[in-house]
Structure 1
Amino acid sequence: MRIEDLLTEAADDTGRPLRHSVDDIVRRGRRTTRARQLATGATATLTTAVVIAGVATWQADRPDSIQPAATPGQTFKTDASTGKLIDPTTGKLIEPPPPVSPLADAEIIRRCGPDDKLWREHLPSAGDKAGPINGQWTVPLKTGRGDGFQAVILSPDRTIAVTCQLKDKSSGSGEGDYRRTTLASQPSLLPTVDAKSKSRKISMTWSRVPESVVRVVGRPVTGSPREALVTRGFATWGIEKDPGGLPVSGKVTGYDAGGKIVFEDTGGAVPVG
């Protein structure tokens, strides 16, 4: 049996004759293969371009599956010589966010335990029923280098927020900064659609932000723009060198994964210097 007949039977069980010769099929296959190769090459080139000019975003607990928003936003490109992001608004280099603390959450909770005990004994709050911090509490935000850190510790029901800052491993109770308050009372920057957002201020210590925010950029009146460390729903400018001692001014802007502005506060507290 000729190869044309075999191809006919394989492709059409009705017995209708093959409409193209073997040579036609071979030529068509070559064209299809070439077209696929060109398409693959074009896709690879496009992907490379996107990676080179892509948005360098980071969030400590952001899942890898998060995709950029459909709404076009601002693209943050990287300066090749410094590795810093370029501010699309001012064209200046953005100072990078403070680092994530390398300490384990359990270690942070353990070291903050003595201060937590003192706080509950001497500054009890009638509305605070969460009890002592322990392994059931979570650490959604932590920054610092080595043994020094600043962390936010949340109660299991997310009603109580603890701010704990210790300078080094030898810090004992009372040698750092410790605060325990309700999460609802902590400064929060809400989306710009919220009428109250213009009166909200980002805290020098840490603030709550919408969970869609992956980048917070502070633009002081003078000096370079600064990026805050952002995790899901929280942001911080880093450890306070001298609580209350740094001048603050300027604008704070929060962006989602697609570069779209989620909130903007023209009176936000941006550390200067």
Structure 2
Amino acid sequence: MSTDIERLLAAAADDTDRPLTTDVDDLLVRARRSVRRTRITTVSTAVLTTGVIIAGIATWSANRTESVGPAGEGIRYDAKTGQVLGDETGTRPQPAPAVSTLSDASLRDQCKQADKEWLDSMRERGADPDDKAGPLDARWIVAVKAGLGSRVHVIFLSPDKSVYGTCALTGVNQAQSYGRFTTSSKAVGDRKQSTAGTRVPAGVRAVLVNVDGERVPRQALLGLDGFYSLGVPDPSTIGRIQRVRGYDEHGNKVYEYTRPTPTPYRQTVPDGVTVKTAEPITPNVVLTKDPLTGKALAPPPPVSPLTDEQITTRCRGVDDIYFQGSRSPQDPRIKAAGPVTKDWKVALKTGTGDKLTAVLISPDQKVYAWCHMLAATAKGAYDYTRSAVQANGKFADDFSFGMVPDGVAQLVVDLPKQGPTRALISNGYYIWGLTGGNSDIQTVRVRGYDAQGKQVYTAKKTVDPDFD
């Protein structure tokens, strides 16, 4: 992501009206799979061959359970190898991942483009003013690198130690995920940022991590300055971190973090609200030239040649992954809509060949799924999310598509590169290209015209104008 931080947090965490209680690994799974093959030429995604997932800020509520200091209890471990042989319950943890044999220089080179994507997005949105460390370069040290072969999870630490970057590589130059975070504990609104998912205090010599769905804890690979890693997360299996324990050189527990109980989702939209789209209007005068300049308009993106059933079948694959990662409370309507099936309406579809961007509407008319795929299956590059209808009967404004305003028959989107472009309109929704990856978010002018070609609408809209 991949990505702009506001969009990621809204889509990955879906935390409207409740505190965000999540961790870095959880965001890596639940974040929109952000892809940008045109800008990341050497990275293929899906979770680039799978895309760059840009991780969001990891935050915990202020009342989180996190302690530093003598906590009693201990472990048995091999002092020569550092392997934990048993925790206080007598359970032998899963061994720590191996230290990667790839050089620090190679890892920096492979993650530089993802770092650039992150910084570009932050620059566009101004989401993290405290990150002043500059781009990833040779001055950044590798705090920890875990993995085998080309599959590596690495954490970089800036020269002034104010920022760390986390990068998961699933192959050579294939950045599955990337994110940058400040090392200081700071307030984010009424929340407090924490590094509990990636770092332990000084003096810790062994780290055990309990993960949702696993009975046996994992031993983490501990690196410099307290940073640790469990290796590259597998989007299809990884769970969220439940508990982190740190032990000193004598095997005594000196640190513990326990994930707080999430605040239940507070629904503010009545159950009876369904999406309301504008009545379709057939233009009598089709715009081919820009009414403002007289120059030719760029044509609308093509309608995808795929059938609706082919689209719902393909999108079901990434829909399943979305739900495997959605473990925090979220709007119950999103889950109640059920998995994508052929009963979902394909409201909008664009693309050529296997490339696809589509908007799917649930049978109950309360939820949309936005599906972007550059290959026939979820093993290829994709970007995906869901969202529920608002109280006004509209879906929240989205960077990748829009809802047609009332009384509008044609739309022109003033894109920065290709110029004024006719939008593709379908079932009350519109799109201006094969959007996906949200790595180039910009605010542009959108103009609406009635059936006779008269302008009846104008507004600024934040869009993804850099197409895959």
TM-score calculated relative to the size of structure 2 = 0.35
Q: How many Å separate the matches in 2 of 1:219 and 1:174? A: 30
Deviation at 1:246, TM superposition (A): 2.6
RMSD of aligned residue pairs (Cα, Å): 2.9
Alignment of 1:79-118 (within 5 A): 85-118=288-321
Counterpart position of 1:258:
452
Q: Which protein has the bigger strand share? A: 2
Q: Which protein has the bigger helix share? A: 1
Identity in percent: 32
Rate the CA distance shift 1:167–1:88 in 2: closer, same or farther, 3 A: same
Q: How many Å separate the matches in 2 of 1:174 and 1:126? A: 28
Counterpart position of 2:381:
175
1:126-147 CA-partner distances (Å, limit 9, x unpaired): 4221111112110010000012
Counterpart position of 1:246:
440
Contiguous gaps of at least 5 residues in structure 1: 1-60, 69-74, 78-84, 189-202
Is the 2:348–2:359 Cα contact (8 Å) retained in structure 1? yes
Rate the CA distance shift 1:226–1:270 in 2: closer, same or farther, 3 A: farther
1:39-86 CA-partner distances (Å, limit 9, x unpaired): xxxxxxxxxxxxxxxxxxxxxx968xx575xxxxxx556xxxxxxx11
Deviation at 1:238, TM superposition (A): 1.7
Q: How many Å separate the matches in 2 of 1:250 and 1:139? A: 26
Is the 2:438–2:464 Cα contact (8 Å) retained in structure 1? no
SS at match of 1:235: strand
Rate the CA distance shift 1:119–1:180 in 2: closer, same or farther, 3 A: same
Q: How many Å separate the matches in 1 of 2:371 and 2:349? A: 9
Deviation at 1:244, TM superposition (A): 2.7
Greater CA deviation, 260-269 or 139-148?
260-269
SS at match of 1:120: helix
- 1:150 matched to 2:357? The reply is yes
Is the 1:250–1:269 Cα contact (8 Å) retained in structure 2? yes
- Select which of 108, 111, 122 maps to 2:325: 122
Deviation at 1:265, TM superposition (A): 0.5
SS at match of 1:264: strand
- 1:159 matched to 2:366? The reply is yes
Deviation at 1:121, TM superposition (A): 2.6
Is the 1:254–1:264 Cα contact (8 Å) retained in structure 2? yes
- Select which of 333, 336, 339 maps to 1:132: 339
Structure whose CA Rg is larger: 1
Rate the CA distance shift 1:172–1:261 in 2: closer, same or farther, 3 A: same
Deviation at 1:260, TM superposition (A): 3.2
Rate the CA distance shift 1:119–1:257 in 2: closer, same or farther, 3 A: same
> What letter is aligned with 1:237?
W
Q: How many Å separate the matches in 2 of 1:119 and 1:102? A: 25
> What letter is aligned with 1:120?
F
Rate the CA distance shift 1:175–1:223 in 2: closer, same or farther, 3 A: closer
Q: How many Å separate the matches in 2 of 1:268 and 1:245? A: 12
1:176-213 CA-partner distances (Å, limit 9, x unpaired): 1111111437344xxxxxxxxxxxxxx43111123543
Alignment of 1:13-52 (within 5 A): none
**Equivalent pairs, count:** 182
Is the 1:76–1:88 Cα contact (8 Å) retained in structure 2? no
> What letter is aligned with 1:116?
D
SS at match of 2:353: coil
